[in-house]
Amino acid sequence: MLLPKFEFHEPESIEKALVLKKQFNSGARFLAGGTDLLVYLKKKIVSTDHVISLQRIEGLGEIRENESDLFIGACTTMAAISRHPAVQKRFCALKSGADNMGTHLIRNRATIGGNVCNASPAGDTLPALLVYDAAALVISPDGKRDIPLRDFFKGPGKTDLKNDEILTGFRLPNPPDHSGAHYIQLGKRKSAEINVVNAASFLTIDPGAGNILSVRIALGSVAPTPIRAPEAEAALMGNTAGDDAFNAAAEIARSRDCSPIDDFRGSAAYRRAMVGVLTKRTLAAAFDQARA
């Protein structure tokens, strides 16, 4: 398996990247870390005459703490996300997702923008981004737009990005006080795994009354895209946080919020059962953090 021949471009600004993309139209592919794209090219799943690297564009690889949110550039690697203090402190579910992707070598190359644009239902950082209510920041020759992440995924490998757009990064609102979040991935082995099921939950509670002020649950590998679990979330809103509420929500997520299929990694029945287990466990762990 040899890498096919293509022309390689390394623009140093977004503007130049946009011009190049327009010039080659759909014949060009953007490259961030390359851990998906190069494999697809070798396996001839994707063919292209032009590869436009985003790696030399300033700012795309940085994490910036703003007053009310965290900006993560699209070309930030899993390794960089994992060791960033703000991520460790306030977005630990995202750190878990980044830590669980592939191997050390992959994590040193793979980017969060690539993980999102690859749009695998099993993507490691996607449930966390969904429960942190991230927005994808997109630029095109026509200007900028923000896409809420829950609207970003359109199918396996399909996204809301238009042909002339570049994903520049993500904005994650700072979680309010008394919040917690947790991510769990389940596979056949303990690392370097493609998830059979993954899930993340986010909770904010009223520290006095103990009721749930906001909740988001995201599930991976159980639908054509990573999804939120709206019915389970609705069942939790306003209720008292605790095992009873979490068990009930887990049952709803299991029975109503997901639509898994059989494939060689696992059966639909097992995936569905695990949605229940992981929903319950991520909620409970998020709750522990929220009241800590």
Q: Which is nearer to another protein, 26 or 264 (CB)?
A: 264
Distance of closest approach, residue 277 Cβ to another protein, in angstroms = 5
Near another protein in 259-288, by CB under 8 A: 264, 266-267, 270, 273-274, 277
191's tokens = 């690392």
Sole window of 89-97, 133-141, 184-192, 201-209 interacting with another protein (rule: CB under 8 A):
184-192
Q: What is the distance between the alpha carbons of residues 179 and 3, in angstroms, rounded to a whole number?
A: 46
Q: List, as one string, the DSSP characters of 83-145.
A: H-HHHHHH-HHHHHHHHHSS-HHHHHH-BHHHHHHHT-TT-SSHHHHHHTT-EEEEEETTEEE
**Out of 20, 194, 213, 248, the residue judged to bind another protein by CB under 8 A:** 194
Q: Which is nearer to another protein, 2 or 292 (CB)?
A: 2
Distance of closest approach, residue 41 Cβ to another protein, in angstroms = 15
Q: What is the distance between the alpha carbons of residues 150 and 135, in angstroms, rounded to a whole number?
A: 8
Q: What is the distance between the alpha carbons of residues 115 and 118, in angstroms, rounded to a whole number?
A: 5
Whether the Cβ atoms of residue 74 and residue 113 lie closer than 8 Å to each other: yes
Check residue 98 for interaction with another protein (CB under 8 A).
Answer: no
Q: Which is nearer to another protein, 13 or 255 (CB)?
A: 255
**Out of 196, 200, 223, 229, the residue judged to bind another protein by CB under 8 A:** 196
**Out of 41, 54, 186, 232, the residue judged to bind another protein by CB under 8 A:** 186
Kindly give, in sequence order, each residue whose CB lies less than 8 Å from that of residue 285, ignoring residues fewer than 6 positions away: 180, 182, 184, 201
Residues that bind another protein (CB under 8 A): 1-2, 103, 186-194, 196, 264, 266-267, 270, 273-274, 277
